[in-house]
Amino acid sequence: MMPEPVTYSGYRFPAEIISHAVWLYYVFSLSLRDVELILAERGITVTHESIR
């Protein structure tokens, strides 16, 4: 049986981006603005408020 893909209904960004932002924030103890900058370098435009 295949597991269903993770979705976050009502959110603007796909689950992969949300998961990556959360991972960066908690694993490396980065600020929300640092996570914003790292994602921007990868071509993902988010604000620190969106990450919060």
Flag whether pLDDT at 21 surpasses 90: yes
Longest dimension (CA), the chain: 40
- Predicted pLDDT of residue 10: 82
- Asked if residue 4 belongs to a domain, the reply is no
Domain with 31, as residue range(s), is 15-51
Long-range contacts of 20-28 (CB under 8 A, 24+ apart): 21/46, 21/51, 25/51
- Give the pLDDT confidence of 34-51 residue by residue, as tens digits: 999 999 999 999 988 888
Question: What's the whole-model pTM score?
Answer: 0.79
Report the domain count for the chain.
1
- CA dihedral over 27, 32, 36, 37, signed as positive or negative: negative
- Predicted pLDDT of residue 1: 67
- Asked if residue 22 belongs to a domain, the reply is yes
